[in-house]
Every structure is written in C-alpha cells, then in structure tokens.
Amino acid sequence: MTNPYQQAYERSINDPEGFWGEVAQNCHWYKKWDKVLDDSRKPYFYRWFPGGMVNTCYNAVDFHVENGRGGQDAIIYDSPVTNTIEKITYSELKDLVAKLAGAFASRGVQKGDRVLIYMPMIPQAVIAMLACARLGAVHSVVFGGFAPNELATRINDAKPKIIVSASCGIETQRVIPYKPLLDSAIEIAKSKPDHCLIFQRSMVSADLIAGRDLDWNDEMSKAKPHDCVPVAATDPLYILYTSGTTGVPKGVVRDNGGHMVALKWSMKAIYNVDPGDVFWAASDVGWVVGHSYIVYGPLLQGCTTIVYEGKPVGTPDAGAFWRVISQHKVNVMFTAPTAFRAIKREDPNAELMKNYDLSTFKALFLAGERLDPDTLRWAEKSLGIPVIDHWWQTETGWAIVANCLGLHSFPIKQGSPTKPAPGWNLTVLDQNNDIAKPGEIGALVVKLPLPPGTLPTLWNNDDGFINAYLKEFAGYYKTADAGFIDEDGYVYVMTRTDDVINVAGHRLSTGGMEEVLSDHPDVAECAVLGVEDQLKGQIPLGFIVLKAGVKRSNEEIIKEIVKMVRDRIGAVASFKIATVVKRLPKTRSGKILRGTIQKIADNKEYKMPATIDDPGILDEIKEALIKIGYADAKK
Ligand code: COA
Ligand code: AMP
C-alpha cells in the first residue's frame, strides 16, 4: 500500500504537468495557463504556467475578504522590543495594501518597476511587499542587518524606483537609525531612486530630504486605493539577493504563478496547516523564510501570520517563544536551530515553558542550517510534539526535503530532514558524476525541471544562472550542498561545497569577507572560513598574512579589519575573530587549503593533503588557532 506522500511524489515526478496543473486549480486565475510547463528553452530555462494571468496579492488578501475571512486576523504584530501587540484583519490589510499601492502608483510605480524594501520587522514591511505584488511591481527586500555598502550593491543591481524604509530598527535594546544607513547607501550607489518612502517610528524621527523623501503617513492619507493588476504567471514577483562565492550577491528571481501555486500547496502538504490556523515563522522578512513563510505562504492559505520583532532570548527572556505561542494560539512554528540553541543555553531544563499553555502547538519546523541532534532531542523532549527538520535554500523558495506532515508523517531519523518533497527529483552524484550508491556522500543535485516556485533565473543575469547552478552537472540543478541518501530514501545534508557559510541561520559568503580583508593596506593575503560555534552553528574566522615590513601591532590591524567587515558587510556577518599568520597552507598549484584549516580549527581528524606545498605550515596554523581558543591543544 502506498501512502499519500508516495502517491504525490511519484505523480509529481512522472507527470509533473498533471500534478501541478491540478494543484494550481486551488488558486485564483484571471486567465488560465496555456500550458502547465514550457520547456521550449531547455536544458536551462523552464517556465511554469505560461499564458496564465494572476495577481499574488489578490490571492493572498482580497480572495479571503471576498470569501468570508475579512474579520479574521491576517497579521499579528508582536513586538516585545516596543511593548506592542497589534492585530490586522484581512479586511484592514486589504485597505492598507490597496492604499499603499495607490501611493506607489501616484509616484509613478508601474508593473515591472522595482521597489526596494529596507525595513525592520514591522507590519509595514509586509504591507509594502503586498502593495508591490498588487501593482505587479517587483520588490526586493534587503535585510536590515546589512551595511550601506551591501545595500548599495543591491540598489545598483535592482535599480528601484522607490525605496521603502523606516526611521529605525531595534536590536533587543539598541535602537538603530536606518535613515543614515539608507542615505549613505544611496550616496554610494550609481543608480538613484526617485523617492524614499519613510515610516517614522516613535523612537527616532528621520530627517527627510525635501523632494526625494516622502512620509509614509502623509502618502497614505492622500492615497486612492488601487486595485490588483493582473500579471503574467511568469512575471517576476520579487528579487531576493543571496550570498554566493564572491562578494557580489546573486539576485534570485521568483515568478508570480509558480510561486503562488507551490507555496499555497506547501502550507497543507508540508506544514499541515489549514485556513484559519495561526502560523509563525520566527525569522525576518529580509530572508527567504520571511518571504515564503511570514508573508506569502500563510496569507495565501488564509492563515494568521505572526510578525515578531524580538529575539528568542533577551526580549525579555528565554520564555519569549512560549509566551508568543500561548498568547496567540500558534499552531505551527518555523525557525532556525540557532534560536533553539540560544533558548537551551539560557534555560536548559525548559523551566520557562511551564509558565505557558502550549496546547495549540502542533509542530515545530526547523531549517536554515544543519539541525544538530542535541538541539533536536532537546526540542522534542521539552515540547512533546513533532520537531521537523527540512532543507531548502533561497533559490528554491520552499523545501527540497521535508517530512511532509500533511501527506504522511515518517518516523524521524536524527540528522536527516527526511525525504524529497513532491516535485523534487533529488539525486546524489559521485566524483565521476555517476549516481552514488545509498549511503555514499556526493553532490546533492536535482534533475531538471525544478518544480514551480523555484528560481527561473537570476535578475538580469541568465549566464550567471547557468554558470552557478546548471553548468557543472548537465541536466541537473546544483544545490552546492553535499550529502547522501540512505537505503530507506532518507536524505542527509552534510556541508556546502562552496564558500558559503551559515551563521545563526544567516547565509554569508566567506569570499565576500576575504574581499574586504584584502582591501586593508597591511594585508598581503587572507583566508576566511567558517568554524563550528555552539550557538550560531558556524562563525567566520579570519587568517591574515601581513605585507613585508609592516611594523604595526597585530591587535591594531585585527581591530581594523573587524571594523571593516562590520562597516562594509554588516553586523550580521558576526566577523569578530582573526589571527595573523606568517603563511597560509596551500596546494602546489596555489589553492588555499581552507578545508584542512577548518578541520584543524574544529579539532577534527584530517589527512595531510598530498598536494600541500609545505606540510610544516599546518603546525604553525594549529599553534595560531590554539592561541585564539580553537584546535584543542591535546590533539
Ligand atoms: N538590523 C541591524 N542589526 C542586526 C539585525 C537587523 N535586522 N539583525 C541582526 N543584527 C546584528 C545583531 O544585533 C548582532 O550585532 P552585534 O554583533 O552588535 O551583537 C549581529 O547583527 C549578529 O546578529 P545575530 O547573528 O542574529 O546574533 P545575535 O547575537 O543578535 O542573536 C540569535 C543570536 C541566535 C538569538 C539570533 O541569531 C536569532 O534569533 N536567530 C533566529 C534565527 C533566524 O532568524 N534565522 C533566520 C533564517 S530562518
Ligand atoms: P539560505 O539560502 O539562506 O536559506 O541557505 C541555504 C543553505 O542553508 C543550504 O544550501 C544549506 O547549506 C543550509 N541549510 C538550510 N537548511 C538546512 C537543513 N535543514 N539542514 C542542513 N543545511 C541546511
């Protein structure tokens, strides 16, 4: 007997058009698609639902108002850092979004124009995203923890007509004025927006530049509500920049039709969430988790979504998550393992949990980084509900591998996010690009076409898309993760195969940090790699070789490079530790042996690389690492 998961999975692989064509009927279309899947530009470009006309905002907001959910809360804004709880019903959300869309339109924003959103976790960020979707404008949300330089790179690439921001963000107790960051990003950027729309928060009043800057409340009070604009299913809904191997971020494009179909379906199939349920993704709208599961997924499904402006600990304590779950009757929650590690560290026996009624809480989903068994066990034991690891990426928009609770609940194997979700023809390729045997580690790749909701290309960069994802393994999408599939079909994701690291669930490029370090006048050579960290999973560690003749103290130079990374990339990089070494270990062809240094730092077994040019350097590296508290001296 096959279970519903197996039936769905097999159909999605053997008859993708039949499977997704049927799923798509659960959404509202102004005009039905001509074809479910257009593969006329294979082997690289596939498009879902060409010919179809839709509006994502209509499906996420208006549809629910017209179908009896107008009075239901769409958004609950819970902000322990400002002591605020605010509820917005679907009807109210529709009015706010329609007005903001009207305000955008009155300032010249039209279908296809870009709008950049640089906002803290407040409902206005969600309203701005939906207002773009309503007009068919393309939003690009940039995480608030990025520095002006990173913001400028994204402004140059997306060329937004309008930038939406707020006067400040709040990090636990620290108020961070956003406007000076935005102003300096615009100054650095070559592309200039026509306007900046600023939401003034009570803690900081931003200075507005006459003519360019607009006040959110003024614009809203004048605006005429704008209706939803039908767009092609294949038109872009948003661009989300993510880290790659270099300092230049990749603009992942998401279309309207496939994204809407896949996300709405995933809410039931993967998360087992029904319309009316309360869903909480404790992330940030600046990340893909925020796009997919704070905003679009839950709203498309008619759920109540929580916008949480706080941390797992410190706002005010390690019971914050339990307070939110009980107060708002959360049914399903999604966050990164690092958040649970932070809670476990402060409240190892989960004492604070006992103060709250968590009876509505049905399942916890974790993603963004590898779920360590200790955190999994702790969460399972303390909560007594299914704790589901699932694996996905900014590029994929939704889970590649999951325990699809709405289809069939599989027994959990520690260390595995379970099985490929329907739509994902996942394989492991060995060093010869042959299909690996069960249990054998190799490159995790997905046979094309990717399912709906995934990236059709990179923004204005088809070549970059092909080169980054499709060139290396012909006919497959390269995830850049390595892992294996066991005899029972369970997938294990082990490590990235490129220079991307995951710091507190945030994806960062070590290559990008190296570019910053190399710019320091005293640095001759450098390497940045991710080492294990008990709280954040990984943190970046820098190695620098100084130019000959540099007489300044190492401490002074390290202080400067730490500041440079914070100023140029942002606090979110968590780059705080670096060390000066005489040389870096390299292969004879000059490649820095990052993997070996990483193993030494993490105190793991390593083999002396056969191609190393000078084996003695590894002892020097180990000594340097021991001095800064890594690479246990005993080994
Ligand atoms: N705006 C400005 N600064 C920000 C920011 C934002 N939106 N988000 C983070 N930062 C800053 C932090 O204040 C911190 O600054 P500091 O070095 O001065 O302390 C720095 O960036 C690093 O942030 P973070 O890695 O988040 O560390 P943290 O110590 O503040 O918090 C956790 C650690 C584990 C509590 C936190 O990372 C967390 O809650 N993670 C939840 C998981 C999550 O949201 N994952 C996203 C993908 S699902
Ligand atoms: P991001 O694009 O920020 O979502 O980061 C995607 C990367 O995070 C993946 O390529 C993986 O390396 C890692 N990742 C995400 N989820 C998991 C998971 N459940 N297990 C292991 N690694 C994960």
The overall longest dimension of the chain from CA atoms, in Å, is 74
Task: Kindly give the distance from the C-alpha atom of residue 131 to the centroid of ligand 1, in angstroms, as a whole number.
Answer: 27
pLDDT number for residue 605 = 86
Reference 503, options 281, 291, 338; nearest CA is 338
3-state secondary structure of 60: helix
Instruction: Please name the helix (run of DSSP H) or strand (run of DSSP E) that holds residue 208, with its range, or none.
Output: none
The position carrying tokens 């074809």 is 35
448 lines ligand 2 (CB under 6 A): no
Please answer whether residues 255 and 233 qualify as being in contact, where contact means their C-beta atoms are separated by less than 8 angstroms: yes
Which atom of ligand 1 approaches the CA of 282 most closely? 44
Choosing from 407, 423, 454, the residue where a domain stops is 407
User: Could you tell me if residue 428 is inside a domain?
Assistant: no
> Beta strands 84-89 and 73-79: pairing type?
antiparallel
Rounded CA separation 520/564 (Å): 8
Reference 524, options 544, 552, 543, 540; nearest CA is 544
> Beta strands 213-215 and 195-199: pairing type?
parallel
Rounded CA separation 433/478 (Å): 12
- Give Cα 84 distance to the centre of its chain: 26
369 lines ligand 2 (CB under 6 A): yes
Reference 67, options 57, 59, 55; nearest CA is 59
The ligand 1 site (C-beta within 6 Å) comprises 144-145, 169, 171, 176, 283-284, 287, 289, 311-313, 335-336, 338-339, 342, 368, 503-506, 536, 571-572, 574
Choosing from 382, 407, 432, the residue where a domain stops is 407
Rounded CA separation 289/392 (Å): 9
* Domain of 202, in residue numbers: 4-275+285-300+400-407
Task: Kindly give the distance from the C-alpha atom of residue 374 to the centroid of ligand 2, in angstroms, as a whole number.
Answer: 18
Which atom of ligand 2 approaches the CA of 500 most closely? 12
> Please, what's the b/e burial string for 466-493 (b: 16 or more CB within 10 A of its CB; e: otherwise)?
eebbbeebeebbbbbbbbbbeeeebbbb
Which atom of ligand 1 approaches the CA of 287 most closely? 47
Please answer whether residues 620 and 614 qualify as being in contact, where contact means their C-beta atoms are separated by less than 8 angstroms: no
Rounded CA separation 574/505 (Å): 12
Which atom of ligand 1 approaches the CA of 570 most closely? 21
Task: Kindly give the distance from the C-alpha atom of residue 604 to the centroid of ligand 1, in angstroms, as a whole number.
Answer: 28
250 lines ligand 2 (CB under 6 A): no
Task: Kindly give the distance from the C-alpha atom of residue 453 to the centroid of ligand 1, in angstroms, as a whole number.
Answer: 27
3-state secondary structure of 106: helix
| Structure tokens, 461 | 């960069």
- Nearby residues of 495 by Cβ (< 8 Å), 6 or more positions away: 481, 482, 483
User: Could you tell me if residue 456 is inside a domain?
Assistant: no
- Please name every residue paired with 577 in a beta bridge, in sequence order, or none if there are none: 541
User: Could you tell me if residue 425 is inside a domain?
Assistant: no
User: Could you tell me if residue 591 is inside a domain?
Assistant: yes
**pTM, to two decimals:** 0.95
391 lines ligand 2 (CB under 6 A): yes
| First CA to last CA distance, the chain | 52
Please answer whether residues 338 and 537 qualify as being in contact, where contact means their C-beta atoms are separated by less than 8 angstroms: yes
> Please, what's the b/e burial string for 126-140 (b: 16 or more CB within 10 A of its CB; e: otherwise)?
bbbbbbbbbbbbbbb
The CB-side HSE value for 319 (13 A sphere, CA atoms) comes to 13
Q: What is the CATH number of the domain that holds 166?
A: 3.40.50.12780
By residue count, the chain amounts to 635
User: Could you tell me if residue 419 is inside a domain?
Assistant: no
> Beta strands 304-308 and 73-79: pairing type?
parallel
| Structure tokens, 53 | 């006309």
State the total domains in the chain: 2
Instruction: Give the Cβ contact number of residue 292 at 10 Å.
Output: 28
Q: What are phi and psi of 161, to 5 degrees?
A: -80, -40
Choosing from 365, 381, 407, the residue where a domain stops is 407
pLDDT number for residue 635 = 43
User: Could you tell me if residue 126 is inside a domain?
Assistant: yes
- Nearest-ligand number for the alpha carbon of 497: 2
Which atom of ligand 2 approaches the CA of 394 most closely? 2
What radius of gyration, in Å, describes the C-alpha atoms of the chain? 24
Task: Kindly give the distance from the C-alpha atom of residue 572 to the centroid of ligand 1, in angstroms, as a whole number.
Answer: 6
pLDDT number for residue 246 = 74
- Nearby residues of 590 by Cβ (< 8 Å), 6 or more positions away: none
- Nearest-ligand number for the alpha carbon of 143: 1
Instruction: Please name the helix (run of DSSP H) or strand (run of DSSP E) that holds residue 8, with its range, or none.
Output: helix 4-14
Task: Render 391-458 in DSSP notation, one character per residue.
Answer: B--TTTSS-SEE--TTT--PPP-TT--BEEPTT--EEEE-TTSSBPPTT--EEEEEESSPPTTS-SSB
- Nearest-ligand number for the alpha carbon of 286: 1
Instruction: Give the Cβ contact number of residue 197 at 10 Å.
Output: 25
pLDDT number for residue 633 = 52
Residue nearest to atom 18 of ligand 1 (CA): 571
Task: Kindly give the distance from the C-alpha atom of residue 90 to the centroid of ligand 2, in angstroms, as a whole number.
Answer: 32
- Give Cα 147 distance to the centre of its chain: 17
Rounded CA separation 163/311 (Å): 26
- Nearby residues of 126 by Cβ (< 8 Å), 6 or more positions away: 75, 285, 294, 295, 305, 307
User: Could you tell me if residue 320 is inside a domain?
Assistant: no
368 lines ligand 2 (CB under 6 A): yes
pLDDT number for residue 244 = 78
> Beta strands 174-177 and 168-171: pairing type?
antiparallel
Which atom of ligand 2 approaches the CA of 289 most closely? 4
Task: Kindly give the distance from the C-alpha atom of residue 392 to the centroid of ligand 2, in angstroms, as a whole number.
Answer: 6
- Nearest-ligand number for the alpha carbon of 337: 1
Rounded CA separation 380/377 (Å): 5
Instruction: Give the Cβ contact number of residue 11 at 10 Å.
Output: 15
Q: What is the CATH number of the domain that holds 526?
A: 3.30.300.30
User: Could you tell me if residue 476 is inside a domain?
Assistant: no
Q: How many helices (H) and strands (E) does the chain have?
A: 20, 31
Rounded CA separation 507/392 (Å): 12
Rounded to the nearest 10 degrees, what angle do helices 148-158 and 179-188 cross at?
60
Residue nearest to atom 14 of ligand 2 (CA): 369
Mean pLDDT, the chain cut into blocks of 10 residues (635 residues total): 94 98 98 98 97 98 98 98 98 98 98 98 98 98 95 97 98 95 98 98 97 98 98 98 84 98 98 98 97 98 98 97 98 97 96 98 96 95 98 98 98 97 98 96 97 98 97 97 97 92 93 94 94 94 95 96 96 96 88 89 85 84 91 60
